[in-house]
Structure 1
């Protein structure tokens, strides 16, 4: 049995859709709401398979409510229902499962339910790593994954979340940083669209990246993800003084820094962080050069002295 909730400010439209769905015999309607806020408050407990969402509502526009619903319960598929066809392109750009025009015919509802079985498959679990030193790249089970990004901003958004190293970032900050030339309203609209593109393309590539949303903020959870920046920073403190035991570790850390942060991409927001890592790398290579000079290993000393000047 498919479970669903309905959101529509028009009472009779709500009652009619509920009756049509229940008459099909394959859908259990868990709740019918005239107010989007009430639906948001209960969706995580109800855990519906489907959400039928009206677009034009006086208090909560359906296109804006879309993101809030997915943030509260991302497993649900959303079907837009409206008396107007002008929102069709936006609806599908947001990756809605379907778009229904009122009045909704029973046979059209059946087609919508059939589409539920053809949703994007659950991403296969793989050991995923993100490489930010050098060209930004994704690897799954040690093999690079090439994603034909629909927009460059989708890749930039993922890179920004990676560079945040697990910190939650507000959607307003992300929107303003990635689209500084636009008004807040337009930049937020671009963010929501890009965010859904990103999640859709990752799912299509069967990558289960731990992107989490919480109260208007987003983060990339590093606990189940290998991120070269985090490994680099974790190992640096133990290398304050180089010894016979720690020198090999220092060499491994230097090797981890393959090239500057996000090399080949100029993002204004990443420049200060990039300079910070460059300084850490420079200091460590100089330490290695001095250490091997004192040890009489002049070949390695010359190698790391040259590397510190690159």
Structure 2
């Protein structure tokens, strides 16, 4: 297991390294960083299995850095190291496999590393679905698809049945306790009635799966506390397959750019888009950020290669899916300027100004406004074309 440590306090780094090496034999510390900006490029270079990441750092918030790391290296595990008490840390669990409190306790660290080891073992044992396997589509609306057939939108008995299936799918191959499901879906009714609703909902999920020819997907009962686990059988999940493809893309160059674009175009919608499931929001944001950062990289590559039209196409796709990103409007303004498309520059500045003013009640950033004014002055001073 390869590990990278990130903490702006040298003494904290030293203690964490000492405890890790004393407690675990099958572990290699690939690198240590006290500068979070150096850490990001170093993690890309070393590609560790796990990053131990301090939350409170003066230059950048550890949560923000953790999201960037997850987006750039999908599949990497993050363990936060923090001085917060365990109640405040609950918020951080959304972004990490686990957390440890400062000063680092050896017994707690062993528990964390056992959890890390189990997660990595599952990942390594997981096989990609066969090319002729059925698929559950989570990008956009929930759908089922069999090889060579049209996608099916399942007809769920109720919205609760749909959410129960989506939640079990989100936590696939992992047992979810009955009390967790009751609290999620039927928090305001007494337990005995909630249990009956749960049994009925499970029955309707199985019935819907059979009606859609997806009866290879099964729901098992068992621990913990009479919980339920969704087993996909041979079926795949489009979000998981896509993330695996992104992970295998490798270096971006002239030979791989088309492949990059083809894979990124498979991101056909946000994760469980249109369903207001709060529990899905982190995964939705994480996958969208992964797509966005890879698209930014591709757009910048086309720009460096002197292919502004291709760069415009990439930025237009980013803008369509992430309309609140101010930088995308600015990138398009500059690209249209390179192409000599005055109307394109004007359109992007007007769209940005409208969005910032009407929806966010904020002015356009000074950098973009200054660039636009200089561009406008230059365009007005340019000689009119000969007729």
TM-score for the superposition, normalised by structure 1? 0.53
Structure-2 change in CA distance of 1:298 and 1:236 (3 Å): same
1:201 paired to 2:211:
no
Structure-2 change in CA distance of 1:293 and 1:266 (3 Å): same
Kindly state the Cα deviation for residue 223 of structure 1 after the two structures are TM-superposed: 5.0
Backbone CA RMSD of aligned residues:
2.4
Q: What is aligned with 1:74?
A: none
Residue 130 (structure 1) aligned to one of 128, 136, 144 = 136
Q: What is aligned with 1:305?
A: 315
Kindly state the Cα deviation for residue 275 of structure 1 after the two structures are TM-superposed: 1.1
Q: What is aligned with 1:37?
A: none
Distance 1:179 1:253 in 2: 39
In structure 1, the residue corresponding to 2:155 is in which secondary structure? coil
Residue 268 (structure 2) aligned to one of 258, 282, 286 = 258
Kindly state the Cα deviation for residue 285 of structure 1 after the two structures are TM-superposed: 0.8
Structure holding more strand per residue: 1
Relative contact order, CA 8 A, sep 6+: which one is greater?
1
Contact 1:162 1:227 in 2 (8 A): no
Structure-2 change in CA distance of 1:166 and 1:266 (3 Å): same
1:161 paired to 2:161:
no
1:292 paired to 2:299:
no
Deviations 1:237-270 (A, max 9, x none): 2346422344333223321211111122211211
Structure-2 change in CA distance of 1:140 and 1:245 (3 Å): same
Structure-2 change in CA distance of 1:165 and 1:198 (3 Å): closer
Structure-2 change in CA distance of 1:292 and 1:256 (3 Å): same
1:192 paired to 2:202:
no
Structure-2 change in CA distance of 1:295 and 1:186 (3 Å): farther
Q: What is aligned with 2:145?
A: 139
In structure 1, the residue corresponding to 2:248 is in which secondary structure? helix
Unaligned runs of 5+ in 2: 1-131, 323-387
Structure holding more helix per residue: 2
> Runs of 4+ in structure 1 displaced over 6 angstroms?
none
TM-score for the superposition, normalised by structure 2? 0.44
Unaligned runs of 5+ in 1: 1-125
1:15-94 residue pairs with structure 2 within 5 A?
none
Distance 2:189 2:254 in 1: 54
Distance 2:240 2:171 in 1: 10
